[in-house]
């Protein structure tokens, strides 16, 4: 009976919590995976058996923790709907995960990578504007893809951004990013009847996946050993903000983090960089 609640739960996530397509797909995958192995009514025993089988298959602790989180949310929903009388996942502990320090790159690497698009061409101009905006404001990939022309206030250097859970926030942007966006929007080859800011080669809104592919293609051309993705650029600007004296609370607001704990990890990044600098350059390092 409980597995039959999956479609209702996914619909609830979309309608009531504003979950993205990617998030819903992840929940569906995790729940389907569990119920394939579960015989009868799900309980703590079947959950522990599921976790054990995941470990045996070599699934990472991080992935197991995510699947447990999906199951907890699902059973919480079922409990609320009166389908079950207790949440079997509530007392199951997450595997201990080592905190992962976000990777960032240097400002010199940012400058070099951003110089790769041929801005005399229409596609190159768009790509440079995309890169500049990522570094300007630390947007998520889906946030940048979802931007409309009406969200861009060039005079005030502001953007209206729709983040996770459809939460809106106003984000300041740099003059440099605004300049590149304006050059791209006013280009003669850009279809002016489209609401989206960034368009693909077919003249419609560019997808997050297409932007990811752009970064892969430029990384290949760059010869850089570093892995540079939109998410790395987001980590990078957060780290650079911190190193230049911006407080963690402001960074949290700019990045759209719901929890301060998510943002404070950048303080650890900054500490690691300082330690590395001392080790490399101190006479007694």
pLDDT grade for 268, boundaries at 50, 70 and 90? low
Give the per-residue pLDDT at 262.
54
pTM of the model: 0.63
Q: How does the average pLDDT of the chain come out, rounded?
A: 85
User: Superfamily for 107-281?
Assistant: Intergrase catalytic core (1.10.443.10)
140 is catalytic: yes
pLDDT digits (tens, 9 = 90+) for 255-264: 886 655 555 6
Q: 133: closest CA among 116, 110, 112, 155? A: 110
* CA–CA dist 72, 1 (Å, integer): 17
Catalytic residue among 67, 128, 140, 235: 140
In whole angstroms, what is the distance from residue 89 CA to residue 95 CA?
13
Percent of the chain with pLDDT over 70: 87
Judged against a pLDDT cut of 50, whether residue 49 lies above it is answered with: yes
Note whether 77 and 9 are within 8 A (CB). Answer: yes
Is 282 annotated in the active site?
A: no
Out of 164, 169, 187, 190, the active site residue is 164
**Phi then psi dihedrals of residue 256, to 5 deg:** 75, 30
The yes-or-no answer to whether 2-80 and 107-281 have a common fold is no
Annotated active-site residue 155? The verdict is no
Active site residue 107: no
Q: Who's near 256: CB < 8 A, 6+ residues apart?
A: 140, 143, 161, 163, 164, 167, 169
Q: What pLDDT, on the 0 to 100 scale, is given for residue 254?
A: 82
Active site residue 12: no
**Structure confidence at residue 3 as a pLDDT band (50, 70, 90):** confident
- Dihedral sign for Cα atoms in the order 214, 220, 221, 227: positive
The answer, yes or no, to whether residue 285 has pLDDT greater than 70, is no
What kind of architecture, by CATH, is found in domain 2-80? Orthogonal Bundle (1.10)
Q: Is 54 exposed, middle or buried (0-12, 13-18, 19+ CB in 10 A)?
A: buried
The confidence band for 274, taking pLDDT boundaries of 50, 70 and 90, is very low
Q: What Rg, from alpha-carbon coordinates, does the chain have? A: 22
Q: Which of the residues 67, 126, 128, 234 is marked catalytic?
A: 234
Q: Give the percent of the chain with pLDDT over 90.
A: 45
Domain ranges of the chain: 2-80, 107-281
């Amino acid at each position: 009976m409980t597995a039959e609640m999956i479609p209702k739960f996914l619909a609830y996530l979309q309608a009531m919590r504003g979950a993205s397509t990617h998030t819903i797909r992840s929940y569906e995958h995790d729940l389907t995976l569990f119920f394939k192995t579960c015989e009868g009514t799900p309980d703590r025993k079947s959950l522990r058996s599921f976790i054990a089988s995941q470990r045996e298959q070599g699934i990472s602790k991080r992935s197991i923790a995510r699947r447990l989180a999906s199951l907890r949310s699902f059973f919480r929903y079922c409990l609320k709907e009166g389908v079950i009388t207790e949440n079997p996942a509530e007392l199951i502990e997450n595997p201990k995960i080592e905190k992962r320090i976000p990777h960032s790159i240097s400002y010199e690497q940012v400058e070099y990578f951003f110089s790769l698009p041929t801005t005399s061409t229409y596609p190159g101009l768009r790509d440079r504007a995309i890169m500049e905006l990522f570094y300007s404001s630390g947007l998520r990939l889906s946030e940048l893809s979802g931007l409309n022309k009406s969200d861009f206030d060039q005079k005030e250097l502001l953007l209206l951004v729709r983040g996770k859970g459809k939460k809106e926030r106003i984000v300041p942007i740099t003059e440099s990013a605004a300049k590149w966006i304006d050059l791209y929007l006013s280009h003669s080859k850009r279809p002016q009847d489209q609401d989206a800011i960034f368009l693909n080669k077919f003249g419609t809104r560019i997808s997050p996946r297409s932007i990811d592919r752009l970064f892969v293609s430029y990384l290949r051309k760059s010869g850089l050993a570093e892995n540079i993705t939109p998410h790395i650029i987001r980590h990078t600007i957060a780290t650079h903000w911190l190193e230049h004296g911006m407080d963690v609370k402001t960074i949290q607001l700019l990045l759209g983090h719901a929890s301060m704990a998510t943002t404070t990890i950048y303080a650890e990044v900054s500490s690691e960089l300082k330690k590395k600098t001392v080790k490399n350059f101190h006479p007694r390092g």
